[in-house]
Amino acid sequence: MNSSSAAENSAKAEAVETRLSGYDLLLHPALNKGTAFTEEERDAFALHGLLPPHVGNLEDQLERRMKAFDCETNSFDRYNFMRNLQDSNETLFYALITGNVEKFLPIVYTPTVGEGCQRFSETWLKPRGLFISYPNKKRIDQMLADPRYDKVRCIVVSDGERILGLGDQGAGGMGIPIGKMALYTALAGVHPEHCLPVLLDVGTDNEERLKDPIYIGWRNKRVRGQEYDDFVEAFVSAVKRRWPHILLQWEDFAGSNANRLLERYRDRLCTFNDDIQGTAAVATATVLGAVQATGIPMKEQRIGFLGFGSAGIGIANLLLAAMKEDGLSEEDAHKQFYPVDRYGLILTGQAGLRPDQVRYARKKSDLEGWTLSGSEQISLADVARNAKLTVLIGVSSQAGAFTEEIVREMAKHTDRPAIFPLSNPTSKSEATPADLTKWTNGRALIGTGSPFPPAEINGKTVEFSQTNNSYIFPGLALGILTSKAKHVSDAMIMAAAKALAALSPTLKNKEASLLPPITDSRKVSLPVAEAVGKQAIAEGLAGVADEKSFEAELREYVWEPVYRPYVRLNN
């Protein structure tokens, strides 16, 4: 944003009224403008002497912070730099991100946020969001009652048990709700004061954390079973009492709880699980982009999975719905899926299957004529050789699991194999896009969960699509909030996926990336929000009267990171 446009936006902005002054004003991250306070504001709010005499503007500060950011020597220090900036000046923090999404997204979100969670205890300085620990279960209403939360409209909550592909991080998992909420604002314009990150601290089974003398969480083994369920119920009930129309996003819960909690609460309040539904939407959009690039209809795609927990099943469910929309019966659609988990291809009668896995289990009769490697388990290599996959999706957190043998086998049977190693962070990716490109002689259509640098292939620079949930969940939240949706339906998730697929560059160029560039993330959120809100209206789930009212609400709602004039209220 240039100086004239920022000044114009600031001039149009409604004035901020506050009783805070002096240090109290400068220490409030939502209100602090630093050197951008005008002379008149410095007079009115007793800021002379607390600020250097230079009166600047947002553009000056952006240049200064960018230089300081670039002086940091590694990604974690840059992550910490941005977290400290967020806790001192939110407007400047968001202006930096929105001005250069591609540069800052990998720092404030995946992959660097993973290390931020692992090292959360050594860097925590200022309160942001709420830590609701098990010993405080009787104080939840009291904690939520603080007037500072009166304007909250959306919550991202985690219990820290399955942080990315890194596992149980206990209280350090708070880095994920903080990061997700930051993207609500940076990529969709949800006002920061409407966002509340929450960590349900029910202990941790991570021995490294429990033995760490500086660990900031509740030093106890994880609470499980009925005690855990009762605690979550107490939290949800308190949230519903405090904010009857809240949007609650579940984040990084272990597979044993993720689906179960979503199903339990999805009809009681407006809620979704990004690991299940957001991942499903962005993966489905990417597959639809591959359909456009290859010309192979959705109903003819043969889809393999490595990893078939909550995320894999969520993706499969949405892709199954897309196949049914393309004309397949439910029974025939199921035959297009080949889920591989830790015990190989999932088969009917296998011990230990979850109910949501059973519906995708393959019958042994489906495998007649297959040539197998001879082991008891049917491996991903066996599946690639016999099923002639057109799409391969990885949500296993097994680095390097998409081997050269598997990828080359897949490429024998389809001209343009679509391969999506989606596990985060980068260290957990099933393959690097450079290797996938090399092993398929440049024919693979690739989407990754975390950002990877371009690769030089046969003298040509190749960019890789980042199949990142950040394309979906900010716009999904924006559409839910502005349509005042009562619940989040499966059709609303599909609407988000289709809206993203409609922006795929493959519609104009079959050789292009499957998804828009990550730099366009903020632009993507608006059409996703429009599609979600209109679907909510069509299903009778919206609190707005009609599409015209929704569109007006959407236009008025989006927050921009610009400084506004301040007016002091008398105490």
- The answer to whether 419 touches 444, Cβ cutoff 8 Å, is yes
Nearest Cα neighbor of 481 from 250, 187, 251, 154 is: 154
Confidence (pLDDT) at 11: 41
Q: What is the pLDDT of residues 337-351, one digit of tens each?
A: 999 998 899 999 998
Confidence (pLDDT) at 13: 60
Of 19-23, 226-230, 457-461, the least confident: 457-461
Residue 20 CA, chain-centre distance (Å), reads 34
Report d(CA 134, CA 518) in Å as an integer. Answer: 38
Confidence (pLDDT) at 511: 86
- Positions annotated as catalytic residues are 109, 180
> For residue 167, is it left (φ>0), alpha (ψ between -120 and 50) or beta?
left
pLDDT exceeds cutoff 50 at 402:
yes
pLDDT exceeds cutoff 50 at 269:
yes
CB contact set of 315 (below 8 Å; sequence gap of 6+) = 279, 280, 283, 284, 305, 393, 395
243-256 CB burial, b ≥16 within 10 A, e <16: beebbbbbbbbebe
- The answer to whether 396 touches 430, Cβ cutoff 8 Å, is yes
Confidence (pLDDT) at 326: 96
Q: What is the pLDDT of residues 479-512, one digit of tens each?
A: 999 999 999 999 999 999 999 999 999 999 988 8
Span 84-96, average pLDDT: 98
Q: Does the predicted model carry a pTM greater than 0.75?
A: yes
Report d(CA 4, CA 59) in Å as an integer. Answer: 10
Span 243-252, average pLDDT: 97
Q: What is the pLDDT of residues 156-186, one digit of tens each?
A: 999 999 998 899 999 999 999 999 999 999 9
Confidence (pLDDT) at 276: 94
Span 377-400, average pLDDT: 95
Report d(CA 189, CA 557) in Å as an integer. Answer: 8
Average pLDDT, rounded, for the chain:
94
Q: What is the pLDDT of residues 97-134, one digit of tens each?
A: 999 999 999 999 989 999 999 999 999 999 999 999 99
Identity at 517, one-letter amino acid code: P
Using CA atoms, how far residue 379 sits from 171, 178, 341, 397, 540, in Å, is 37, 38, 9, 17, 45
